[in-house]
Amino acid sequence: MSKPTTPATSIARQNASHFFQDLILNSQDVLPMTRSNFLIPDLIVQGHITVFASPANGGKTTLFKFFCEKLAAIGLDVIYINADSSPGDLKDHFEHSRRHGYHLISPDAKLGQSVENVLDRLTTIKNSDLQFDGLVLIFDTLKKFVDMLDKKQLKSLLSTLRSITLKGATVCLLGHTNKYAGTDGKTIFEGMGDLRTDVDDLIYLDSSKNPDTGHLEVTTRPDKVRATFSPRSFIIELPNRTVKESAAVISIFSDEEMKLLQLVIQAIKSGCSSQQEILICVKPKTLMGQNAIRDALHRFVNAKDAKIKVSPHPGGKGYKYSAI
């Protein structure tokens, strides 16, 4: 049972809060803050700092050019800071920004300018008395602006960006995932755990090329979030890189798993129906071990857009795999 509050303890609590008076939020502090709402459904939340992580060549720049079209169309002040493109790609990006009404910054493409000049402008915005409710900043890619392994640098940049979002701005940080996936087969963001801790949201952009169409398919995987997100899928048509929104969520598998799935489908069509028969058929054609193949089979049949299914064998013994 808690001790009853006495006049003496009440005074102590009052005196303690007195020391924090200059830090305690009041109505004037929260008045300019906007309530969280999605600028792009299930992807970009107004006033948040969000990291979007994908493997190299995973489609993130193409997707965010597409999102810039949407954001600019609703009247937002969109600034895309591209520090990770070749001159040829940058020229195309510039034409796209002019066509759709958003701003493109490429520090190294301006004579005498660099990433440091961008960081200086961020500090200026941070220290200003203005509100930036309609501002969306996109950084491509994060590692061009900060050493991902330097805690002090990362903390300083995120602190500046946090101050800017408190003025109403929205920040999207495009990043890479590590080369190798985790034990669960999923990709992991590049950098230190502090990044995941200090941002509002971490959204993975899982991608793979559809062997039937040759197009790149991308599905979001919300990881750490401070809003309610649902996965979304997009199709990047190659080679013209036109983005189409998918009505259904597409299951994304690694390149190795995609090859295995094709082998499994071929094995089923050739007459293999039990797990053991499939293992015997596909094992010599892949470097994956038997346990890894079994795990992959489980993921294949449980995918929302499954290409194979498993059902009780008609004979009553074991299970039968079939192609859908």
Taking each helix axis as running N to C, give the angle between helix 255-269 and helix 290-302, from 0 to 180 degrees, rounded to the nearest 10.
80
187 token code pair: 């990709």
Question: How do strand 216-224 and strand 233-237 relate by DSSP bridges?
Answer: antiparallel
Amino acid at 42: D
The DSSP H or E segment spanning 284 is none
Taking the alpha carbons at both ends of the chain, their separation in whole angstroms is 62
As to burial, measured by CB atoms within 10 angstroms (0-12 exposed, 13-18 middle, 19+ buried), residue 283 is middle
Partners of residue 135 on adjacent β-strands: 77
Locate CATH 3.40.50.300 in the chain: 30-245
- pLDDT at 203 exceeding the cut of 60: yes
Residue for token pair 């053991």: 276
Question: In Å, how far from its chain's centre is CA 245?
Answer: 16
Return d(Cα 180, Cα 126) in angstroms, integer: 37
- pLDDT at 309 exceeding the cut of 60: yes
Q: Quick count: other Cβ atoms within 10 Å of Cβ 215?
A: 15
pLDDT tens readout for residues 274-305: 999 999 999 999 999 999 999 999 999 999 88
- pLDDT at 233 exceeding the cut of 80: yes
> What is the dotted CATH code of the domain comprising 30-245?
3.40.50.300
Band of pLDDT at residue 1, cut at 50, 70 and 90:
low
Angle among Cα 140, 143, 146 to the nearest 5 degrees reads: 115
Q: What fold, for 255-323? A: Arc Repressor Mutant, subunit A (1.10.10)
Residue for token pair 């979002």: 165
Locate CATH 1.10.10 in the chain: 255-323
Q: Tell me the percentage of the chain whose pLDDT exceeds 90.
A: 71
